[in-house]
């Protein structure tokens, strides 16, 4: 009981400080904006922007604080151990990234990319998808590293805040390497007849992709 | 699969590149000019390939920093038991999605842990849990080479990407100069919800439509030893040396 009460107290203090800080900043900003009104004020967009800019620092602090104060985790040691893992993960993806990006290099310099885009443009225009995203849609269920490379290429080429970049981020975040997961999971137990696993899982990916395109087109982006 | 894709893409890119170079060269007047155009086109492709490989490695060097930071934080979350608290939260919803898995069967626990770890983006922790869940689901399966409805439902949830915070996407956006890398958080959450509802819904309807395979649900409920049931039916297999 003692422990739970203390937990509640910590949480209360934590949220109180955060709320107070937010209230103070918003108020201070309001005064500053009153002097030089530049961008038309849209409450929804600016709140979204504010939340999204603060969400990562707050998540990091929240997790570390929760673990340290309530679960008595050795936070420093745990962090270092995880960071080591992160190093290995990042090193491991280099070969895959090189493999996909150099193919894109051949496509771009040789002019095959232009021809491809000219070919698919009538179809993508009809549906309203930027043509540069088609490769991402096709490679996403097949290879996680490949899809990541295509996404990074879109970021580099069109910019992460362009419509192409935003849809690519959204697709990457809302779908999975379907064929890989099915193959590994069912393969590990020796199941050969997959029945309707592939259509069901691909339908989920399709839903995610359609939703990404539609949402990104109509979302009130802050930039 | 990726092998075919790889070689076809390289061949296609090169053939189109050569064809383009040749057709451009034909437009020039003198032989010297034609050779010059062909030469520069080849050099362009080589440069592009080398540049892209360099870009890939440079990006990954930045990625090391971001990945170390994020996995460090997630390790803290992992050790503070965040996965277990999430399991308690999603258990009531998930139990209903697997009608032929008894709530007290070890498969249910493993599946819950896997989905919770996936939601937090702990891929390294999620995969072993997922494989364990499949192994446990297989003990309930009477036709060992055929996927059960519950297995497919589990796969549909797993492949619909239930990640709440797609942190690696944020990191890449930040890395390539986004004004607000985290602006996609809410749109992605909505899109993820669509795929997470769509995939399992499809699995559910197809499962209803196609019926289910034979399983050991009743045998488990009756308290029988499932591993013995398998042994009776398994044929003698030649020992591989």
Q: Tell me the mean pLDDT in the region B185-209.
A: 92
Strands (E), chain B: none
Of A7, A63, A90, residue with least CA distance to B76: A63
Residues A97 and B56 sit within 8 Å (Cβ to Cβ): yes
Q: Does the residue A177 lie in any domain?
A: yes
Asked if residue A187 and residue A95 are part of one domain, the reply reads: yes
In terms of domains, do A52 and A150 share one? no
pLDDT single digits (tens) A81-139: 988 888 887 787 788 888 888 888 888 888 888 888 888 888 888 888 888 898 899 88
How many structural domains compose chain A?
2
Task: Examine the domain organization and report whether A39 and A138 are in the same domain.
Answer: no
Q: What is the pLDDT of residue A37?
A: 47
Q: Cβ A204–B198 below 8 Å, yes or no?
A: yes
Torsional class of A190: left (φ above 0), alpha (ψ -120 to 50), beta (otherwise): left
How far is the C-alpha of A165 from the C-alpha of A156, rounded, in Å?
Answer: 9
Q: Enter the pTM of the model.
A: 0.76
Model confidence at A34: pLDDT above 60: no
Q: How many residues does chain B have?
A: 241
pLDDT at B214: 85
Residues of B in contact with A109 (CB under 8 A): 17, 44-45, 47-49
CA dist., res. B68 & res. B56, Å (int): 18
Say how many C-beta atoms besides its own lie within 10 A of residue B119's C-beta.
22
Which residue range forms the structural domain that includes residue A107? 91-218
Percent of chain A topping pLDDT 70: 84
Beta carbons of A78 and B78 less than 8 Å apart: yes
Contact B191 A84 (CB under 8 A): no
Task: Find the residue in A nearest to B57 (Cα).
Answer: A94
CA distance linking residue A87 with residue B228, whole number of Å? 45
Tens-digit pLDDT profile for residues B67-96:
888 888 888 888 888 878 888 888 888 888
Mean pLDDT of B176-194: 88
State the Cα–Cα distance between residues B236 and A187, nearest whole angstrom.
Answer: 21
* Bigger pLDDT: B39 vs B239: B39
Let me know whether A67 and A116 are in one domain.
Answer: no
Highest mean pLDDT among A164-173, A181-190, B170-179 belongs to A164-173
| Nearest-by-CA chain A residue for B177 | A160
User: CB distance from A188 to chain B under 8 Å?
Assistant: yes
pLDDT at B151 over 90: yes
Asked if residue A82 is part of any domain, the answer here is no
Mark whether A69 and A107 lie in a shared domain. Answer: no
Which of A73, A103, A122 lies at the terminal end of a domain, its last residue? A73
Q: Choose the final residue of a domain: A23, A43, A73.
A: A73
CB contact under 8 A, A99 and B5: no
Asked if residue A84 belongs to a domain, the reply is no
Q: Mark whether A69 and A106 lie in a shared domain.
A: no
Domain boundary residue among A23, A44, A73? A73
Residues A189 and A112 in one domain: yes
Q: What is the pLDDT of residues A47-68, one digit of tens each?
A: 777 776 777 788 888 888 888 8
- Taking CA atoms, A207 is separated from A178, B58, B159, B198, in Å, by 13, 34, 12, 6
Give yes or no: residues A113 and A46 share one domain.
no
What pLDDT was estimated at residue A26?
A: 59
- Across the interface, of A48, A87, A212, the residue whose CB is closest to B64 is A87
Question: Residues of chain A with pLDDT > 90: what percent?
Answer: 20
Judge whether A86 lies within some domain. no
């Amino acid at each position: 009981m003692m422990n739970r009460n203390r937990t509640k107290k910590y949480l209360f203090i934590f949220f109180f400080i955060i709320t107070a800080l937010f209230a103070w900043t918003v108020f201070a900003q309001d005064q500053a904006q009153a002097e030089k009104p530049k961008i038309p004020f849209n409450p929804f967009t600016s709140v979204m922007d504010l939340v999204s800019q603060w969400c990562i620092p707050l998540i990091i602090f929240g997790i570390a604080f929760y673990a340290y104060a309530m679960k008595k985790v050795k936070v420093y040691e745990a962090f270092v151990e995880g960071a080591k893992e992160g190093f290995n993960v990042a090193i491991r993806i280099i070969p895959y990234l090189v493999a996909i990006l150099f193919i894109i290099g051949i496509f771009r310099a040789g002019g095959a990319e232009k021809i491809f885009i000219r070919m698919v443009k009538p179809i993508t225009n009809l549906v309203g998808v930027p043509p540069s995203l088609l490769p991402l849609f096709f490679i996403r269920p097949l290879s996680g590293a490949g899809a990541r490379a295509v996404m990074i290429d879109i970021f580099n080429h069109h910019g992460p805040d362009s419509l192409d970049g935003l849809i690519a981020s959204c697709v990457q975040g809302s779908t999975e390497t379907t064929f890989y997961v099915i193959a590994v999971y069912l393969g590990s137990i020796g199941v050969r007849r997959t029945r309707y696993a592939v259509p069901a899982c691909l339908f989920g990916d399709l839903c995610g992709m359609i939703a990404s395109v539609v949402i990104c087109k109509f979302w009130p982006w802050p930039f | 699969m990726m092998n075919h894709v790889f070689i076809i893409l390289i061949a296609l890119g090169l053939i189109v590149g050569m064809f383009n170079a040749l057709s451009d060269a034909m437009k020039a007047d003198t032989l010297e000019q034609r050779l010059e155009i062909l030469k520069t086109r080849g050099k362009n492709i080589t440069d592009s390939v080398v540049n892209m490989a360099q870009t890939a490695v440079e990006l990954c060097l930045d990625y090391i920093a971001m990945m170390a930071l994020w996995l460090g934080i997630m390790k803290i979350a992992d050790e503070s038991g965040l996965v277990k608290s999430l399991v308690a939260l999603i258990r009531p919803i998930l139990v209903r999605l697997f009608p032929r898995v008894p709530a007290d069967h070890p498969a249910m626990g493993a599946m819950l842990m896997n989905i919770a770890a996936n939601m937090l983006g702990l891929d390294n922790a999620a995969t072993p849990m997922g494989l364990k869940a499949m192994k446990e689901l297989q003990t309930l399966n009477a036709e060992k080479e055929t996927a059960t409805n519950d297995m497919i439902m589990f796969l549909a949830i797993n492949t619909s990407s239930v990640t709440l915070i797609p942190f690696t996407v944020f990191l890449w956006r930040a890395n390539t100069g986004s004004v607000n890398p985290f602006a996609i958080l809410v749109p992605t959450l909505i899109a993820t919800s669509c795929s997470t509802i769509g995939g399992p819904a499809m699995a559910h309807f197809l499962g209803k439509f196609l019926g289910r395979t034979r399983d050991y649900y009743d045998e488990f409920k009756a308290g029988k030893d499932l591993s013995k049931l398998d042994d009776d039916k398994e044929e003698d297999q030649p020992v591989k040396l």
